[in-house]
Amino acid sequence: MIRNVAIIGLGLLGGSIGLAIRDHAPDLRTTGFDRDPEVREAAKARGLVSAVCETAEDTVREADLVILCVPVGAMEEAARSFADALPDGVIVSDVGSSKQSVGKALAAALPGRTIIPAHPVAGTEQSGPEAGFSSLFTNRWCILTPEAGTDPAAIEAVTAFWTTLGANVEIMEAEHHDLVLAVTSHIPHLIAFTIVGTASDLEEVTRSEVIKYSAGGFRDFTRIAASDPVMWRDVFLSNKSAVLEMLGRFSEDLTALQRAIRSGDGDTLHDLFSRTRAIRRQVIEEGQDDDRPDFGRDDHG
Amino acid sequence: MIRNVAIIGLGLLGGSIGLAIRDHAPDLRTTGFDRDPEVREAAKARGLVSAVCETAEDTVREADLVILCVPVGAMEEAARSFADALPDGVIVSDVGSSKQSVGKALAAALPGRTIIPAHPVAGTEQSGPEAGFSSLFTNRWCILTPEAGTDPAAIEAVTAFWTTLGANVEIMEAEHHDLVLAVTSHIPHLIAFTIVGTASDLEEVTRSEVIKYSAGGFRDFTRIAASDPVMWRDVFLSNKSAVLEMLGRFSEDLTALQRAIRSGDGDTLHDLFSRTRAIRRQVIEEGQDDDRPDFGRDDHG
Q: Which residue of A has its CA nearest to B226?
A: A277
Query: Rounded mean pLDDT of B60-69?
Result: 98
To the nearest whole number, what is the mean pLDDT of chain A?
Answer: 96
B65 pLDDT band, cuts 50/70/90, is: very high
Q: Which residue of A has its CA nearest to B289?
A: A219
Tell me if B122 and A233 make a contact (CB, 8 A cut-off).
Answer: no
Among B181, B261, B286, the residue with its CB nearest the CB of A216 is B181
Tell me if B217 and A188 make a contact (CB, 8 A cut-off).
Answer: yes
Q: How far apart are CA A152 and CA A195, in angstroms?
A: 44
Question: What's residue A299's pLDDT?
Answer: 58
Which amino acid makes up residue A137? F
Q: Which residue of A has its CA nearest to B239?
A: A261
Which ipTM value was assigned to this complex?
Answer: 0.94
Query: Rounded mean pLDDT of A144-155?
Result: 98
Asked whether the beta carbons of A218 and B188 are under 8 A apart, the reply is yes
Tell me if B280 and A223 make a contact (CB, 8 A cut-off).
Answer: yes
Taking contacts as CB-CB distances below 8 angstroms, the residues of chain A near B230 are 270
Whether B181 has a pLDDT exceeding 60, the answer reads yes
Domains B4-172 and B176-264 share a fold: no
To the nearest whole number, what is the mean pLDDT of chain B?
Answer: 96
Taking contacts as CB-CB distances below 8 angstroms, the residues of chain B near A236 are 261, 269
Query: Which residue, among A219, A235, A252, A265, would best test binding to B if mutated, counting the most B CBs under 10 Å from its CB?
Result: A219
Taking contacts as CB-CB distances below 8 angstroms, the residues of chain A near B212 are 141, 170, 286, 288
Structure confidence by residue, pLDDT tens digits, B215-267: 999 999 999 999 999 999 999 999 999 999 999 999 999 999 999 999 999 99
Among A179, A193, A257, the residue with its CB nearest the CB of B205 is A179
A298 pLDDT band, cuts 50/70/90, is: low
Instruction: Let me know if B100 is exposed, middle or buried by CB neighbors in 10 A (0-12, 13-18, 19+).
Output: buried
Percent of chain B with pLDDT over 70: 99
Tell me if A124 and B254 make a contact (CB, 8 A cut-off).
Answer: no
In the beta sheet, which residues pair with residue B31? B6, B51
Q: How far apart are CA B106 and CA B206, in angstroms?
A: 46
Identify the DSSP state of B28.
Answer: S
Query: Rounded mean pLDDT of B108-131?
Result: 97
User: What CATH code is assigned to A176-264?
Assistant: 1.10.3660.10
Q: How far apart are CA B211 and CA A285, in angstroms?
A: 10
Q: How far apart are CA B99 and CA B118, in angstroms?
A: 8
Tell me if A227 and B264 make a contact (CB, 8 A cut-off).
Answer: no
Question: What's residue B301's pLDDT?
Answer: 43
Domain B4-172, CATH number (from 3.90.1660.10, 3.40.50.970, 1.10.1050.10, 3.40.50.720): 3.40.50.720
Question: What's residue A158's pLDDT?
Answer: 98
Structure confidence by residue, pLDDT tens digits, B153-164: 999 999 999 999
Among B136, B202, B249, the residue with its CB nearest the CB of A198 is B249
* Residue among A59, A102, A113, A100 at smallest CA distance from A82: A59
List CB contacts of B31: < 8 A, sequence separation 6 or more.
B4, B5, B6, B7, B49, B50, B51, B52, B53, B58, B59, B60, B62, B63
Question: What's residue B297's pLDDT?
Answer: 79
Q: What are phi and psi of B8, to 5 degrees?
A: -105, 110
Taking contacts as CB-CB distances below 8 angstroms, the residues of chain A near B46 are none
Question: What's residue B109's pLDDT?
Answer: 98
CA–CA min distance A128, chain B (Å) = 13
B176 pLDDT band, cuts 50/70/90, is: very high
CA–CA min distance B279, chain A (Å) = 7
Question: What's residue B150's pLDDT?
Answer: 98
Question: What's residue A244's pLDDT?
Answer: 98
Among A135, A194, A247, the residue with its CB nearest the CB of B250 is A194
Question: What's residue B125's pLDDT?
Answer: 94
Q: Domain coordinates of chain A in residue numbers? A: 4-172, 176-264
Among A122, A194, A286, the residue with its CB nearest the CB of B253 is A194
Percent of chain A with pLDDT over 90: 95
* Residue among A210, A252, A222, A226 at smallest CA distance from B254: A252
Query: Rounded mean pLDDT of B25-40?
Result: 98
Whether A125 has a pLDDT exceeding 60, the answer reads yes
Q: How far apart are CA A22 and CA A183, in angstroms?
A: 33
Structure confidence by residue, pLDDT tens digits, A46-62: 999 999 999 999 999 99
Structure confidence by residue, pLDDT tens digits, A217-271: 999 999 999 999 999 999 999 999 999 999 999 999 999 999 999 999 999 999 9
Structure confidence by residue, pLDDT tens digits, A177-222: 999 999 999 999 999 999 999 999 999 999 999 999 999 999 999 9
Taking contacts as CB-CB distances below 8 angstroms, the residues of chain A near B282 are 207, 211
Q: Is B118 left (phi over 0), alpha (psi -120 to 50) or beta?
A: beta
